[in-house]
Amino acid sequence: DAKTTQPPSMDCAEGRAANLPCNHSTISGNEYVYWYRQIHSQGPQYIIHGLKNNETNEMASLIITEDRKSSTLILPHATLRDTAVYYCIVFSGNTPLVFGKGTRLSVIA
Amino acid sequence: DSGVTQTPKHLITATGQRVTLRCSPRSGDLSVYWYQQSLDQGLQFLIQYYNGEERAKGNILERFSAQQFPDLHSELNLSSLELGDSALYFCASSVTGQDPYNEQFFGPGTRLTVL
């Protein structure tokens, strides 16, 4: 079972920041927070991951709370091509990735 | 483009038949994973190989088997196919397969339709 809780769906206006929340209150000290997205029926696409510190790459930013019980994925300027299902996953490396139901993000023009 | 390739893209077959799905990992990646995505089950982990050896097993049916070859490509064999095996099958690869900081990269998938 997935160890994360995400809202089933969210809307975001094109050009605005999309903030996708994730709760992982039972995360262990050696588990990373990973984010993937799946556009339509394509293969899941890696976005970003982090352990404790906030992370940023060319796609997104990941903000992890100090207690590590929740995190937020930020897409700074959402475009229509960002419409997808976003998965938040906690991962230790010793178990496979467990995908939950994710958040369906709809970017609206 | 993730660098992971899968063939074929689409496969249509009949119940009772056997098929083989193929995956080539990214250059340098030693670990290969197989996932199944059906409408009612979501993305489910099937099996992982690392450098030719089975590393982890998920909810893989006994009718399914996989292997990783010396050149690191992998094949997933599905036999005695049933209607319920219709799904998208994804392959992913990562550098080591044991470290939590090495991400998995997914291929485009094979869509299997069993009639």
Mean pLDDT (whole number) for A40-59 = 94
What CA–CA distance (Å, rounded) separates B50 from B28?
A: 12
Query: Would you state the pLDDT for residue A3?
Result: 87
Chain B contact present for A39, CB below 8 A: no
State yes or no: pLDDT of B3 exceeds 70: yes
State yes or no: pLDDT of B85 exceeds 80: yes
Out of A32, A51, A96, whose CB is closest to B58?
A96
Query: B68: pLDDT confidence band, cut at 50, 70 and 90?
Result: very high
* Count, residues in chain A: 109
Query: Would you state the pLDDT for residue B74?
Result: 98
Query: Would you state the pLDDT for residue B24?
Result: 98
Q: Give phi and psi for A90, each to the nearest 5.
A: -100, 135
Per residue in B37-63, pLDDT (tens digit) is 998 778 999 999 999 999 999 989 999
Substitution target in A41, A48, A51, A92 with the highest count of B β-carbons within 10 Å is: A41
Query: A33: pLDDT confidence band, cut at 50, 70 and 90?
Result: very high
Out of B99, B106, B111, whose CB is closest to A44?
B106
Residue B111: closest C-alpha in chain A: A41
User: Under an 8 A CB cutoff, do B103 and A49 touch?
Assistant: yes
Beta bridge partners of A23: A5, A70
What CA–CA distance (Å, rounded) separates B45 from B78?
A: 15
Three-class DSSP labels, chain B: CCCCEEECCEEEECCCCCEEEEEECCCCCCEEEEEEEECCCEEEEEEEEECCEEEEECCCCCCEEEEECCCCCEEEEECCCCHHHCEEEEEEEECCCCCCCCCCEECCCEEEEEC
State yes or no: pLDDT of A106 exceeds 70: yes
Chain B contact present for A8, CB below 8 A: no
Per-residue DSSP letter, A106:
E
What CA–CA distance (Å, rounded) separates B40 from B112?
A: 15
Mean pLDDT (whole number) for B25-33 = 95
Q: How far apart are the first and last CA of chain B?
A: 31
Query: A66: pLDDT confidence band, cut at 50, 70 and 90?
Result: very high
Q: Give phi and psi for B83, each to the nearest 5.
A: -55, -40
Query: Would you state the pLDDT for residue B100?
Result: 74
More confident position, A68 or A97 = A68
State yes or no: pLDDT of A57 exceeds 70: yes
Structure tokens at B77: 């064999």
Cβ atoms of A96 and B56 closer than 8 Å: yes
Q: Is B77 left (phi over 0), alpha (psi -120 to 50) or beta?
A: beta
Per residue in A8-27, pLDDT (tens digit) is 999 999 999 999 999 999 99
Query: Would you state the pLDDT for residue A92?
Result: 83
State yes or no: pLDDT of B99 exceeds 80: no
